[in-house]
Structure formats: structure tokens, C-alpha cells
């Protein structure tokens, strides 16, 4: 059997994807909790608006992996803002990320409830 190493990330991206928003590519870098951003700092994720791509580390610990989901939602929100010609709003991006991760976790719990 061959399986995709980041099933949770794939499921999460499907969960938060909006049909009326142009596509964005997601790159997951295995084996790291942080990545180097374009300004040379350590960061949790990057949204490269020129190439419409999001780059995140895979996350190592359980907390790290949860952070990755939050980072993906945060950067996806910036992508939505960008495609709608809006300025980046960090506070709104964080709120969106928290809401999406919570909703995803709740949906995952509901799904496993159905299997019992
Ligand atoms: Zn941001």
C-alpha cells in the first residue's frame, strides 16, 4: 500500500477551499516546524502571491501539525484577499484560521462518531 504522508493536510485543504476563489498551489516541506521567509526571517508559512502558492513546513510534533493547518488557512485567507483586490488584514486572517481549524476538528470528530 502507498499512502500520502499528509492526509490530514489534504483533507484540511479540501475542507477550507472555496469554489469561487482562483486556485492556489500548496507546497509542504517535510521535516520542519518553521521555514525561512522571503525576508530571511524564520516563519510559519509564506504566501507567494506572484506565483499563487502557499509554502508551509510539515510540522513535527502534534502541536506543530495543528499549527500548520492554522498557517495554511491564514495564508489562504491572504490569497482570498489578494484575488479580491483587498489589503492583507492579519487580524482577520488569524480569526479565519482559528475558525477553520476548530470547524475542521469538529467535523473530524463528527465523522468518527458516525463510524461507531
Ligand atoms: Zn498574515
Residue 110: what are its φ and ψ, rounded to 5°?
Answer: -60, -40
Give me the tens of pLDDT residue by residue for the chain, a chain 116 residues long. 777 778 899 999 999 999 999 999 999 999 999 988 878 888 899 999 999 999 999 998 888 888 999 999 999 999 999 999 999 999 999 999 999 999 999 987 776 666 55
Centre of ligand 1 to C-alpha 47, Å, is 8
Centre of ligand 1 to C-alpha 11, Å, is 22
Q: Does the residue 116 lie in any domain?
A: no
What does the buried/exposed string (b/e) look like for 19-32 if buried means 16 or more CB atoms within 10 Å of the residue's CB? eeeeebebebeeee
Centre of ligand 1 to C-alpha 87, Å, is 11
Alpha carbons 36 and 5: distance in angstroms, whole number: 22
Q: Is 55:35 a contact under the CB 8 Å cutoff? A: yes
Give the position of cell 495554511: 72
Report the SS3 class of residue 60. Answer: coil
Q: Does the residue 1 lie in any domain?
A: no
Centre of ligand 1 to C-alpha 79, Å, is 10
Centre of ligand 1 to C-alpha 61, Å, is 22
Q: Does the residue 112 lie in any domain?
A: no
Q: Does the residue 114 lie in any domain?
A: no
Centre of ligand 1 to C-alpha 70, Å, is 11
Centre of ligand 1 to C-alpha 78, Å, is 7
- What is the domain count for the chain? 1
Centre of ligand 1 to C-alpha 54, Å, is 12
Q: What domain range includes position 51?
A: 7-107
Has this prediction a pTM greater than 0.85? yes
Q: Residue 51 sits in a domain of what CATH number? A: 3.30.2010
Nearest to 26 by CA among 10, 2, 39, 38: 10
Q: Does the residue 51 lie in any domain?
A: yes
Centre of ligand 1 to C-alpha 90, Å, is 5
Amino acid at each position: 500500500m502507498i499512502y500520502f504522508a499528509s492526509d490530514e493536510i489534504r483533507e484540511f485543504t479540501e475542507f477550507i477551499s472555496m469554489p469561487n476563489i482562483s486556485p492556489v498551489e500548496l507546497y509542504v516541506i517535510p521535516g520542519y516546524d518553521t521555514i525561512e521567509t522571503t525576508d530571511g526571517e524564520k516563519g510559519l508559512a509564506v504566501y507567494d502571491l506572484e506565483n499563487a502558492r502557499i509554502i508551509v513546513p510539515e510540522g513535527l510534533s502534534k502541536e506543530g501539525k495543528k499549527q500548520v493547518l492554522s498557517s495554511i488557512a491564514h495564508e489562504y485567507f491572504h490569497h482570498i484577499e489578494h484575488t479580491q483586490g483587498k489589503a492583507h488584514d492579519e487580524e482577520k486572517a488569524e480569526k479565519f484560521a482559528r475558525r477553520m481549524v476548530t470547524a475542521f476538528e469538529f467535523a473530524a470528530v463528527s465523522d468518527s462518531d458516525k463510524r461507531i
